[in-house]
């Protein structure tokens, strides 16, 4: 808060602290400026991604020549095109003919979509190793949109503003402030194979946009400014997100597990996307989950912030490295958020 561009009112500071984030990390963003235009540098993102991928390959005793398929998921990159996987292939030393896929904009359910793509690939190429890279680097949006911000208002004050244009502007500033403090940067990488040891995928289910306009609950979109070559960013976090999260996760769990609630109770751990402390508490209550089964989710939120799609593999890593898993233990993984979407995955330790 000390380095934020402006002083925050007491209630806004309270809003920030209620997110459940104690600290988070941001990639270095060297910039090339030319007059009024600033070009964002992609090297911070690529360095973090390649480090994570190298760590995953080394941990599995593999090298670049062993990878048959690369799946890169991300929401933000200085390059709208080409995609992240194209940028990573030469940096990682992968075969330029390697199969690859980009999945952009899936946010909190990105890791589950990557697992689904890996599963489909391995069904046809059973001996391959799939390298997944999940980028949760959002500061290219959220760090840059608060530069030079002044006079953030409390929600109670914003609601009293009669001029609608002024009210929208002040609400936009409040949302940008919350996003700045909520979202951290992180990248996770994993190797997926048919003969692996550890967590095994037993099933994946997804649901999106039950209500035709649900996607407007949370989003980031480009805007055009009234000058040549100029673009802006508009982001929104709706107050309906927690309730939609509870509704959607309930539907996707039923799709995955059917009416059998025994699996929900049997699951030793839950890896739940780190939306915020409030949302985690709501899901614990809504699904009658033993609160301690989400300890790793709360720790990742507190120590790293909301890592978008990378939050779930960060949580799984803490679960597995805690040495509490035994053969046959089940883990339920749950993502939800912008889209509006939810996805669930049943994992078993083998």
pLDDT one digit per residue (tens) for the chain, 350 residues? 888 999 999 999 999 999 999 999 999 876 666 667 778 889 999 999 999 999 999 999 999 999 999 999 999 999 999 999 999 999 999 999 999 999 999 999 999 999 999 999 999 999 999 999 999 999 999 988 898 899 999 999 999 999 999 999 999 999 999 999 999 999 999 999 998 678 899 999 999 999 999 999 999 998 888 888 888 888 888 889 999 999 999 999 999 998 776 788 889 999 999 989 989 999 999 998 999 999 999 999 999 999 999 999 999 999 998 777 888 899 999 999 988 999 999 999 88
Q: Which two tokens stand for residue 174?
A: 């409040």
Q: How many CA atoms lie within 13 A of 94 on its CB side?
A: 25
Residues contacting residue 42 through CB under 8 Å, at least 6 positions apart? 77, 78, 79, 87
Q: What was the pLDDT predicted at 17?
A: 93
Q: Which two tokens stand for residue 298?
A: 């709360």
- Dihedral of CA 67/73/79/80: which sign? positive
Is residue 215 exposed (0-12), middle (13-18) or buried (19+ Cβ within 10 Å)?
middle
Residues contacting residue 57 through CB under 8 Å, at least 6 positions apart? 63, 64, 66, 67, 131, 191
What HEC string does the chain produce? Answer: CCCCCCCCCHHHHHHHHCCCCCCCCCCCCCEEEECCEEEECCHHHHHHHHHHHHHHHHHCCCCHHHEEEEEEEECCCCCCCCCHHHHHHHHHCCCCCCEEEEEECCHHHHHHHHHHHHHHHHHHCCCCEEEEEEECCCHHHHCHHHCCCCCCCCHHHHCCCCCHHHHHHHHHHHHHHHHHHHECCCEEEEEECCCCCCEEEEEEEEEECCCCCHHHHEEEEEEECCCCCCEEEEEEECCCHHHHHHHHHHHHHHHHHCCCCHHHHHCCEEEECCCCHHHHHHHHHHCCCCHHHHHHHHHHHHHHCECHHHHHHHHHHHHHHCCCCCCCCEEEEEEEECCCEEEEEEEEEC
With beta carbons less than 8 A apart as the criterion, state whether 74 and 52 touch: no
Neighbours of 87 (CB within 10 A): 20
Rounded Cα distance between 2 and 16, Å, is 13
In the chain, residues under CATH classification 3.40.47.10 are 43-138+184-196, 200-211+239-349
Q: What was the pLDDT predicted at 30?
A: 67
48 alpha carbon, distance to own chain's centre: 15
Torsion of CA 201, 348, 106, 252, to 10 degrees: 100
Count of residues for the chain? 350
With beta carbons less than 8 A apart as the criterion, state whether 237 and 173 touch: no
Neighbours of 55 (CB within 10 A): 13
The hierarchical CATH code for the domain 200-211+239-349 is 3.40.47.10
The CATH class given to the 43-138+184-196 domain equals alpha beta
């Amino acid at each position: 808060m000390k380095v934020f561009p402006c002083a925050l009112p007491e209630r806004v500071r309270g809003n920030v602290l209620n997110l459940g984030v104690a600290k988070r990390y941001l990639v270095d963003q060297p910039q090339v400026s030319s007059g009024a235009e600033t070009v964002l540098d992609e090297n911070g993102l690529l360095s973090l991604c390649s480090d994570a991928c190298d760590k995953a390959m080394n941990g599995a005793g593999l090298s670049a020549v062993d990878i048959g398929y690369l799946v890169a998921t991300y929401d933000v990159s200085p390059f709208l095109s080409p995609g992240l996987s194209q940028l990573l292939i030469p940096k990682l030393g992968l075969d330029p003919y390697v199969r690859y896929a980009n999945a952009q904009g899936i946010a909190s359910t990105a890791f589950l979509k990557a697992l689904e793509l890996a599963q489909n690939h391995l069904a046809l190429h059973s001996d391959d190793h799939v390298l997944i890279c999940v980028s949760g680097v959002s500061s290219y949006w959220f760090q840059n949109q608060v530069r030079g911000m002044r006079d953030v208002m409390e929600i109670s004050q914003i609601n009293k503003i009669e001029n609608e244009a002024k009210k929208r502007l002040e609400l936009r500033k409040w949302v940008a402030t919350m996003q700045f403090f909520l979202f951290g940067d992180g990248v996770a990488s994993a190797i997926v194979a048919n003969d692996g040891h550890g967590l095994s995928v037993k099933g994946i289910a997804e649901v999106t946009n039950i209500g035709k306009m649900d996607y407007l609950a949370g989003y980031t979109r480009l805007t055009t400014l009234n000058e040549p070559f100029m673009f802006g960013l508009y982001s929104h976090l709706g107050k309906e997100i927690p309730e939609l999260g509870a509704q959607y996760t309930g539907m996707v769990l039923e799709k995955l597990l059917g009416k059998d609630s025994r699996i929900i109770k049997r699951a030793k751990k839950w890896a739940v996307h780190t939306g915020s402390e409030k949302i985690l508490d709501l899901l614990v209550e809504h699904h009658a989950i033993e609160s301690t089964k989400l300890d790793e989710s709360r720790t990742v939120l507190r120590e790293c912030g909301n890592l978008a799609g990378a939050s779930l593999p960060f949580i799984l890593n803490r679960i597995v490295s805690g040495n509490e898993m035994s053969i046959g233990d089940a883990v339920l993984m749950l993502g939800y958020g912008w889209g509006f979407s939810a996805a669930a995955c049943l994992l078993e330790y083998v």
